[in-house]
Structure 1
Amino acid sequence: MLSSKQLAEQLQTLQVQPGSALLVAVSGGADSLALLDLLLPLRAQMQLQLAAVHINHELRPESQAEEKRVREYCHVHAVPLDVWHWQQAAHPASGTEAAARSFRYDQFERSAQARGSDYILTAHHRDDQAETVLFRMMRSGSVHGIGGIAARQTWRGKILLRPLLPYSREQLRTYAVQHELPFSDDPSNADTRYSRNFIRAEVLPLMRTREPRVDDHLNRLASETQGLLALANVTLRRFLTFLGPKTDEFDWTPVQDEERTVQKMVLQAALQRILPGVADAQVLQALAALEAADGRTRYVRLNRQRQLAIQGACVHVEPIDAGSTTAPRARVLNCDGPGVAYRQGSICLVTTVRPGDRLLAGMCTAAPLTLRVRQAGDRIVLNDGHHQKLRRTFINERVPADVRDCLLIAARGSDVVWIDDLRLNQLLKQPATDKIKANLVYRQ
Structure 2
Amino acid sequence: MRRVRMTKSSKLLFGAHSGDFASLSRHLPDPANGLLVALSGGLDSTVLLDLLRQWAAKTGAELAAVHVDHQLRPSSKHDAAFCRRLCHQWGIPLVLETLDIARDGSTQESARVQRYAAIAQVAQRLGLGAVATAHHADDALETALLNFRRGTSSGGLAALLSKTEAPIPAWPDLELVRPLVEAPKARIHQYAEARGLEWVNDPTNLEGSYERNRLRHDVLPGLTDDGALLAPMLATLENLASERDALESIARTCLEGARLASPDAESIALDCAPLRKAPRAVAMLVLQRATHALPAEVALTREHLQEVLDAIESETSLDLAVRGAHVSIERGFVIVEVARGRGGKHLFTRQAHPIPIAAANLDGTSNLDETSARDGQVPWFGTTLRWKANQSVDSLVVRGPRPGDRLDARGLDGHKRVVDVLKEAGVPRSFRWRWPCLVHQQKVEWICGLRQATREDDTPPDTRTIRLFWDLEPDSVFNRVVGQTTNCFDLQYF
TM-score normalized with structure 2 length: 0.54
Q: 1:284 aligns with which of 306, 309, 327?
A: 306
The answer as to whether partners of 1:136 and 1:146 remain within 8 angstroms in 2 is: yes
> 1:339-418 alignment to 2 at 5 Å?
none
Distance 1:307 1:167, change over 3 A: same
Please state how far the C-alpha of 1:141 moved relative to its aligned partner: 2.4
Question: Is the Cα contact below 8 Å between 1:282 and 1:300 reproduced in 2?
Answer: no
Letter aligned with residue 329 of structure 2 = L
Inter-partner Cα distance in structure 2 for 1:237 and 1:92: 36
d(CA) in 2 for partners of 1:40, 1:323: 51
Match of 2:190 in 1: 174
Structure 2: how far apart are the matches of 1:40 and 1:2? 14
Question: SS state of the match for residue 149, structure 1?
Answer: coil
Q: CA deviation at 1:22?
A: 1.6
Tell me if 1:58 matches 2:71: yes
Change (3 A) 1:104 1:225: same
2:238: which partner in 1?
Answer: 223
Match of 2:378 in 1: none
In the other structure, the counterpart of 1:9 is 22
Does the alignment pair 1:32 with 2:63?
no
Write the letter of the residue equivalent to 2:43. A
- The higher-RCO structure (CA 8 Å, 6+ apart) is 1
Q: For the Cα contact (< 8 Å) 1:52–1:80, is it kept in 2?
A: yes
| Identical positions, percent | 27
Taking the aligned partners of 2:66 and 2:99, their CA distance within structure 1 comes to: 13
Distance 1:244 1:101 in 2: 30
Change (3 A) 1:242 1:254: farther
**Structure-1 residue corresponding to 2:381:** none
Partner of 1:308 in structure 2? Answer: 329
Structure 2 equivalent of residue 357 of structure 1? none
Task: Give the superposition deviation at 1:106.
Answer: 2.2
Q: CA deviation at 1:241?
A: 9.0
Q: Is contact 2:67–2:94 with CA below 8 Å preserved after alignment?
A: yes
Cα distance change on mapping 1:139 and 1:48 into 2, 3 Å = same
Q: CA deviation at 1:48?
A: 1.8
Once the two structures are TM-superposed, the CA of residue 24 in structure 1 deviates from its matched residue by 1.0
Q: How many residues align?
A: 309
Whole-angstrom CA distance in 1 between matches of 2:52 and 2:335: 54
Q: Look up the SS of the partner of 1:64 in the other structure.
A: helix
Distance 1:86 1:10, change over 3 A: farther
1:204 to 217, 220, 223: 220
Q: For the Cα contact (< 8 Å) 1:286–1:300, is it kept in 2? A: no
Checking the alignment, whether the CA contact within 8 Å between 1:302 and 1:308 is kept in structure 2 is: no
Contact 2:328 2:334 in 1 (8 A): yes
1:131 aligns with 2:142: yes
Residues 123, 164 of structure 1: 8 Å contact kept:
yes
Alignment-mate amino acid for residue 282 of structure 1: H
Point out the more displaced range, 28-37 or 231-240: 231-240
Q: In the alignment, which residue of structure 2 is the partner of 1:85?
A: 98
2:174 corresponds, among 144, 154, 158, to 158
Shift of 1:201: 0.9
Aligned residue in 2 for 1:73:
86
CA distance in 2 between counterparts of 1:195 and 1:124 reads 17
Contact residue 39 and residue 45 of structure 2 kept, 8 A: yes
Alignment partner of 2:224: what SS? helix
Query: Using the alignment, how far apart are the partners of 2:347 and 2:134 within structure 1?
Result: 52
1:99-153 per-position Cα deviation (integer Å, ceiling 9, x unaligned): 2112221221222122221211111111110101111111222222012213645
The answer to whether structure 1 residue 96 and structure 2 residue 118 are counterparts is: no
1:141 equivalent to 2:156? Answer no
CA RMSD in angstroms comes to 3.7
Counterpart in the other structure of 1:214:
229
**Equivalent of residue 187 in structure 1, options 186, 203, 206:** 203
Question: In the alignment, residue 235 of structure 2 is paired with which amino acid?
Answer: R
Work out the CA distance in 1 between the residues paired with 2:198 and 2:347.
Answer: 63
Do 2:70 and 2:76's aligned partners in 1 also have CA atoms closer than 8 Å? yes
